[in-house]
Structure 1
Amino acid sequence: MSVSPTSQLVVKPVAGALGAELHGIDLEHLTDEVFAEIHQALLDYLVVFIVGQQGLSPQAHIAFGRRFGEVELHPYLPRLDGHPEIVLIDSERGGKVDVWHTDMTFHQSPPQASILRMITCPSRGGDTMWTNQYLAYEQLSAPLRDMLDGLTAVHRIRIGDEFTSRAEHPVVRVHPETGRRSLYVNRLFTSHIPQLTRNESDTLLQHLFEFSVAPQFSCRFSWRPGDVAVWDNRVTQHYALNDYAEPRLGQRVTVLGDHPEGDPARWPDYRAAPGERYWPATVNAVENY
């Protein structure tokens, strides 16, 4: 635990890999000085939990997000009446995503950060987990890291006939603020690696999906009403545990990001031989995000 010498901010790490609780903050009356400390804690710990924000207004929630960058208007999730910048994560309306993922990597410029405020919690269960993708990359063998540095991956989503998006990003991205490398694939949205055959891509991605969410890279947070989590979407995956039956409601502001940067692909896309079956038309069709 550390205490800021210039403010009342107290930082309490929650796990060895990532994550820290921040105490002594009032987001309703946030100063530039305290925001700078929150931003640095986010870069250091990748996900931070600002506790005790029961009185946070929608206006202050949105204003906090805008300190990081432009706030997104989500294309299809339900929103808070009168505040289209705030998405409702409602367990009673399909808001359970119990699969490891990084938010909206199917966009050309995926979000840089998400800010989720918990409104209603079940009496038990409903925790969220995060994993550190710096560590996942750094603990791969050197030959595998070298190969991955020269590959890209396709990310996509389809929700009925209402929304479809596709983007191609480096398998290893370089963080624009820290300069560190991290894995950038996830089970929910990553479809395939175009430089490889289908079997090679499936096998490699399956390994990365499993390895990147190993327990040693993770932290777990038990919510209380009024808690606010801020995570760096560029270098984490997260998973909302579906182990409860009571209502769970959160309000999320998402901060737009930049185009993921990494090394260029070192090989051309694989071209299937005439008559060879390659990518099925239904691959990675996500019907309920």
Structure 2
Amino acid sequence: MTTLTISCKPLTKSAESQVDFGAELHGLNMEELTDDDFAILHKALYEHQVVVVKNQQNLSPKAQYELTRRFDPSAGVYSHGKSIDKRSVLHRDLTTIPRQPQVQVIGHGFVKEYEGLTNLQLRHPHHKAFHKHPIPEDEDEGFTHFYRWHIDSAMYDLDPPLATSLLAVQVPKGRRQICRYDDESGTKLDVPLGTTAFFSGYRLFELLSEEEKHFVRTSKVEYAPHPYIWMSKAKSRSNGLGIVSEGLELSEEELPPFEDEKVKIYPMAWKNPVTGRLAMMVYPTCVRKIHLEDGSILDNLSEIRERLYRLQRRAIDPQYVYTHDWEEGDLVLFNNHGVMHSIVGSFKDGVEVRLFRQCNMAGSRPPLGPEDIL
């Protein structure tokens, strides 16, 4: 059996940090993971939410898939299904590895050949294509935004993956950027180039007042059918936390055919299957309605977004956000039912190449709610 030690490293050197999640694991052979090893890894993921395993350059796509699937053995299909509609905001961001379709290649720049793919022109999502007020082009090299705070999920038909794995294959070196919130706070955050940012839904829930906790425990959110097409013309807030309400969402008549029973309605609070802690987990860009405890339904989209924003905004205060400083060979696994994350950064075209592998599969069950028994 592999000798495995878990060290919980401080995830930021800032004295003001209140990040309370994350662990770095040592001693794992990911290609030959025993059941005992995986039991420790599973416990670590649900206790620490974000797990970093260094020096995994030789991890094969097959092994990455098998590892990720062990968190949900009944899962199998990629989280967004077998194909993504060309109208979806996700369509240009993902490239499937032919021999392992649950694993996607993501990143930025030209890659001549990788895992059976040739002449890849990868595109890192840039906030200028999605934000209402992007950073001016002449400031783009030094400044950036959180792109979109999200949960990995189709949010229609398929349930959110339990876990996601990200492997850094090639990472640009040498510079950092300032992430500007450009909101009412005027906040700025120094971040590594191309970081992935995380915040804890568990910490967010703990930050709520008792009245807010009751609302979150007893309410459910209804997501739009085909949400990434529904919101394809809408624009994001500058801090990446939800949509600016301008009436740009597509009508039901403009969407692909959908079935009412495949529209997702989830609790606002998701229960950790190991610790029992509650996390506020709401994907604000995709929400269409809120179902209240008394059976009534809120359907004023602008009011819904403002209410959710007031609840969630505190979670992205800099002291609660972990921005991972990627190194080649880093394998990061995260509890997709407990943390939210965002792409960050902009790269120099023709100069900086970023190559990553992502793996997640639609969940075999919906998220656990407050009333679910462990």
TM-score, length-scaled by structure 1? 0.80
Indicate which of 96, 99, 122 corresponds to 2:125: 96
Equivalent position of 2:287 in the other structure: 190
Instruction: Supply the distance in 2 between the matched residues of 1:214 and 1:52 (Cα, whole angstroms).
Output: 31
Does residue 1:248 correspond to 2:351, yes or no? no
Equivalent position of 1:34 in the other structure: 37
When residues 197 and 59 of structure 1 are mapped into structure 2, their CA distance, relative to the original with a 3 A threshold, is closer
Does residue 1:61 correspond to 2:168, yes or no? no
Return 139-148 or 230-239, whichever deviates more.
Answer: 139-148
Instruction: Supply the distance in 1 between the matched residues of 2:263 and 2:151 (Cα, whole angstroms).
Output: 15
Equivalent position of 2:367 in the other structure: 260
Question: What amino acid sits opposite 1:169 in the alignment?
Answer: Y
Instruction: Supply the distance in 2 between the matched residues of 1:203 and 1:166 (Cα, whole angstroms).
Output: 22
SS at match of 1:91: strand
Correspondence 1:192-271 to 2 at 5 A = 192-194=289-291, 195-196=297-298, 198=300, 199-245=302-348, 246-257=352-363, 258-262=365-369
SS at match of 2:42: helix
How many pairs were matched up? 260
Task: Write out per-residue CA displacement over residues 173-194 of structure 1, whole angstroms, 9 at most, x where no aligned residue.
Answer: 2233332211011333233424
SS at match of 1:242: coil
Does residue 1:152 correspond to 2:148, yes or no? no
Does residue 1:110 correspond to 2:145, yes or no? no
SS at match of 1:223: coil
Indicate which of 73, 77, 80 corresponds to 2:97: 80
Indicate which of 3, 12, 25 corresponds to 1:7: 3
When residues 105 and 170 of structure 1 are mapped into structure 2, their CA distance, relative to the original with a 3 A threshold, is farther
SS at match of 1:84: strand
CA contact (8 A) 2:108 2:124 kept: yes
Q: Give the C-alpha shift of residue 41 in structure 1.
A: 1.1
Identity %: 27
Q: Give the C-alpha shift of residue 253 in structure 1.
A: 1.4
SS at match of 2:41: helix
Instruction: Supply the distance in 2 between the matched residues of 1:151 and 1:63 (Cα, whole angstroms).
Output: 35
Task: Write out per-residue CA displacement over residues 163-210 of structure 1, whole angstroms, 9 at most, x where no aligned residue.
Answer: 977411111222333322110113332334242352542321121231
Does residue 1:121 correspond to 2:191, yes or no? no
Equivalent position of 2:130 in the other structure: none
Indicate which of 38, 49, 55 corresponds to 1:46: 49
TM-score, length-scaled by structure 2? 0.63
Does residue 1:173 correspond to 2:270, yes or no? yes
Task: Write out per-residue CA displacement over residues 85-129 of structure 1, whole angstroms, 9 at most, x where no aligned residue.
Answer: 211123343443721111116145211110111111112411111
Instruction: Supply the distance in 2 between the matched residues of 1:19 and 1:71 (Cα, whole angstroms).
Output: 27
Unaligned runs of 5+ in 2: 12-18, 85-93, 110-121, 127-146, 176-192, 233-254, 292-296
Question: What amino acid sits opposite 1:223 in the alignment?
Answer: W
SS at match of 2:168: strand
Instruction: Supply the distance in 1 between the matched residues of 2:6 and 2:167 (Cα, whole angstroms).
Output: 19
Q: RMSD across aligned C-alpha pairs, in angstroms?
A: 2.5
Instruction: Supply the distance in 1 between the matched residues of 2:266 and 2:123 (Cα, whole angstroms).
Output: 28
When residues 137 and 113 of structure 1 are mapped into structure 2, their CA distance, relative to the original with a 3 A threshold, is same
Indicate which of 182, 185, 210 corresponds to 1:142: 210
Instruction: Supply the distance in 1 between the matched residues of 2:204 and 2:154 (Cα, whole angstroms).
Output: 18
CA contact (8 A) 1:131 1:238 kept: yes
CA contact (8 A) 2:278 2:370 kept: no
SS at match of 2:198: strand
When residues 30 and 217 of structure 1 are mapped into structure 2, their CA distance, relative to the original with a 3 A threshold, is same
Q: Give the C-alpha shift of residue 140 in structure 1.
A: 0.5
When residues 247 and 236 of structure 1 are mapped into structure 2, their CA distance, relative to the original with a 3 A threshold, is same
Instruction: Supply the distance in 1 between the matched residues of 2:218 and 2:324 (Cα, whole angstroms).
Output: 35
When residues 17 and 35 of structure 1 are mapped into structure 2, their CA distance, relative to the original with a 3 A threshold, is same
Instruction: Supply the distance in 1 between the matched residues of 2:344 and 2:279 (Cα, whole angstroms).
Output: 24
Unaligned runs of 5+ in 1: 1-5, 265-289
Instruction: Supply the distance in 2 between the matched residues of 1:9 and 1:163 (Cα, whole angstroms).
Output: 50
Instruction: Supply the distance in 1 between the matched residues of 2:39 and 2:4 (Cα, whole angstroms).
Output: 13
